[in-house]
């Protein structure tokens, strides 16, 4: 069946990237496009959906007569489904369709697909870089060098960092990202402990072991990296009591979600010296406000939530989404269907 597809794009999942992937699957598809200013303009809660960017009214106008919306971050709200009766599938280039009102989609009989694992490799590699940057304090030394100064005391025993080999690394969450980080840390010679109540033990490789409790992991790990999926139940799962359990001089890394960590507690631990260093790609608010303690606290490495940002991640997500749009065109079941009740109910 011939489809009329709207590409609702941005500056990461661009029109060119999505169109190239879709043309490879369905060369004769009718395509039109709109674009938001993300990431220049940050994502936000828009109407009833989360982590979205773009204008709902613009999307509704552009979707008239379209069967498919192929997007990354546009807000796919109840109003969109109500105003676009010809819409049959929404395909989101993300690990989860957080910017889609899934209940509304199901009520209107619209399939929603997504792209699980699209940036797992990028995020895992970024996490490894953040661990190394925090453990060896590379950005801080770089800035001193750029100032023209020479740190004559940088080799002092009380200032130098740790090695990975032979060290104890705790990985919270053994999903697509956490499992990759655990494998890389183990390959570097670390003793890797994993806490994940839902972990499949078969995913553990050499040098890795599951622990029964988060407390056990924290107490035995000098480097802790967080890779849990954010839920209402695990808000601030790492707060002052948990940081206090970590050995003095530890390093804490969060490249998962900002809600998992109490950043005020982390700042306190950095200022007191209990934490040797920290690295955060996900932040309590994005962008950070000018007065944030994270901008002045010592020995912290910050990046602007770019862990999953790679060309390969954008291209992989586009290919995953295009394949699920092709399934619709062929009358097949999409592989990555978020609301299977549309077909099975």
pLDDT at 112: 98
CA distance 296 to 303: 14
pLDDT category, 2, cuts 50, 70, 90?
confident
- The question of whether 305 is a catalytic residue gets the answer yes
pLDDT in tens, 256-278: 999 999 999 999 999 999 999 99
Say yes or no to pLDDT of 1 above 80. no
* Domains, in order of start, for the chain: 4-118+310-344 (3.40.50.720), 120-302 (3.40.50.720)
CA distance 9 to 25: 18
pLDDT in tens, 25-40: 999 999 999 999 999 9
What percent of the chain is modeled with pLDDT above 90?
96
pLDDT at 203: 83
The terminus-to-terminus CA distance of the chain in angstroms comes to 23
pLDDT in tens, 57-103: 999 999 999 999 999 999 999 999 999 999 999 999 999 999 999 99
pLDDT at 282: 96
Which of 72, 118, 305, 319 is the catalytic position? 305
pLDDT at 60: 98
Residue 120: HSE in the Cβ half-sphere, 13 Å Cα cutoff: 18
- The question of whether 229 is a catalytic residue gets the answer no
Task: Choose among 144, 89, 87: nearest CA to 299.
Answer: 144
What percent of the chain is modeled with pLDDT above 70?
100
Residues in a beta bridge with 193: 170, 209
In whole angstroms, how far apart are CA 294 and each of 130, 201, 308, 341?
16, 36, 21, 44
* CB contact at 8 A, 174 and 199: yes
Say yes or no to pLDDT of 202 above 90. no
pLDDT at 181: 98
pLDDT at 200: 85
Task: Choose among 43, 58, 81, 83: nearest CA to 8.
Answer: 58
Q: Which pTM does this prediction carry? A: 0.92
Which of 58, 78, 286, 315 is the catalytic position? 286
- The question of whether 193 is a catalytic residue gets the answer no
Say yes or no to pLDDT of 11 above 80. yes
Average pLDDT, the chain: 96
Which of 191, 257, 299, 319 is the catalytic position? 257
pLDDT in tens, 95-152: 999 999 999 999 999 999 999 999 999 999 999 999 999 999 999 999 999 999 999 9
């Amino acid at each position: 069946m011939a489809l009329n597809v709207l590409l609702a794009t941005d500056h990461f999942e661009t029109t060119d990237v999505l169109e190239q992937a879709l043309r490879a699957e369905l060369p004769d598809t009718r395509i039109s496009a709109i674009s938001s200013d993300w990431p220049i303009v940050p994502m936000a809660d828009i109407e009833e959906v989360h982590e979205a960017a773009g204008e709902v009214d613009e999307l509704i106008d552009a979707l008239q007569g379209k069967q498919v919306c192929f997007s990354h971050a546009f807000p796919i709200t109840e109003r969109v489904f109500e105003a676009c009766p010809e819409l049959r599938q929404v395909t989101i280039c993300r690990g989860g369709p957080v910017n889609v009102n899934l209940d509304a989609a199901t009520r209107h009989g619209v399939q929603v697909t997504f792209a699980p694992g699209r940036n797992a490799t990028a995020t895992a590699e970024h996490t490894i870089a953040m661990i190394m940057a925090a453990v060896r304090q590379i950005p801080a030394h770089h800035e001193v060098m750029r100032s023209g100064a020479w740190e004559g005391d940088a080799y002092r025993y009380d200032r130098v960092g740790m090695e990975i080999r032979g060290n104890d690394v705790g990985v919270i969450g053994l999903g697509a990202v956490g499992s990759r980080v655990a494998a890389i840390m183990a390959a570097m010679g670390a003793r890797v402990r994993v806490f994940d109540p839902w972990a499949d033990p078969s995913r553990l490789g050499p040098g890795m072991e599951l622990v029964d409790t988060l407390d056990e992991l924290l107490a035995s790990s000098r480097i802790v990296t967080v890779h849990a999926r954010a839920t209402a139940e695990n808000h601030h799962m790492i707060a002052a009591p948990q940081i206090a359990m970590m050995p003095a001089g530890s390093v804490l890394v969060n490249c998962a979600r900002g809600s998992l960590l109490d950043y005020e507690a982390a700042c306190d631990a950095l200022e007191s010296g209990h934490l040797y260093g920290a690295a955060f790609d996900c932040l309590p608010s994005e962008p950070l406000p000018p007065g944030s303690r994270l901008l002045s606290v010592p020995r912290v490495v910050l990046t602007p939530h770019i862990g999953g940002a790679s060309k390969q991640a954008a291209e992989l997500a586009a290919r995953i989404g295009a394949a699920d749009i092709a399934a619709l065109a062929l009358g097949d079941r999409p592989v990555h269907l978020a609301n299977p009740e549309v077909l099975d109910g």
